[in-house]
Chains A and B, each alone.
Chain A
Amino acid sequence: MEQLIDDLTFGNVYEVKTVLASVAAALAVYQLLLIAVGYGKLRPRFLASPAASLTHRASGDVIVVLVAIVALTCLAHFGFDDHGRLHQVTGALLIAVFAFKIAVIRWWHGLGRLLPLLGTCVFVLLALTWLTSAGHFLGGGG
């Protein structure tokens, strides 16, 4: 698996992971704006609630795919070593909360009132996971 990832990324695992995670983080910020419009907290003239909600769902699906790829790359290539403990914890929590949120959206509609809280948790965890890895890497932290 590690060799496959190395081949797919041409040996640039860190760089590819950084780009994908950064795209996911940027889309997550956009998600906040979209869902604020979706719930009617923001009311711009050029975007109505239904369109914002649908784009939020579509963009969320993209983020799920990106996060899944980055997480699999992390686990397969780096595993659970002693470095970056905070990154590992926030990443694992992100996957767990993400899975729970998807389950609420798809099946457990009775828990729909939790979606704003779950969405906020996903955003915070995604931001922390990005900051402790890609953000640190881009900042020259190594």
Chain B
Amino acid sequence: MSVDRERIAPRQLLGSILVALAIVAIVIVVVVARLGTGTGENRHDDSGGGKGKVEQRQSGDDGG
């Protein structure tokens, strides 16, 4: 694959690079938004889930 630099149209080059930058920006936004919704958060959670703990505490309050 040889690149003939003399025949490169600057606008086409700029456009194709801007498309690449747009792809990068869109992917970052989508992935961060996806991570922000909670996907994957449980990966670090070794407690077995927080819901059970809350329920346990509530039942303890009832008994008191």
Q: Give chain A's interface residues, CB within 8 Å of chain B.
A: 14-15, 18-19, 22-23, 26-27, 30, 34-35, 38-39, 46-48, 50-59, 62, 112, 115, 137-140, 142
Q: Tell me whether A48 and B28 are in contact in the complex, defined as CB-CB below 8 angstroms, given that A39-B1, A55-B20, A115-B1 are known contacts.
A: no
Distance between Cα atoms of A117 and B40 in the complex (Å):
35
Q: Give chain B's interface residues, CB within 8 Å of chain A.
A: 1-5, 7-9, 12-13, 15-17, 19-20, 23-24, 26-28, 31-32, 34-35, 39-40, 42-44
Q: Is the CB of B3 within 8 A of A26?
A: no
Q: Is the CB of B31 within 8 A of A19?
A: yes
A97–chain B nearest beta-carbon distance, Å: 17
- Partner of B35 from the list A18, A26, A62 (CB cut-off 8 Å) is A18
Classify the interface of chain A: helix, strand, loop or mixed.
helix
Give the nearest-CB partner of B26 in chain A.
Answer: A26
Q: Tell me whether A26 and B19 are in contact in the complex, defined as CB-CB below 8 angstroms, given that A50-B7, A51-B9 are known contacts.
A: no
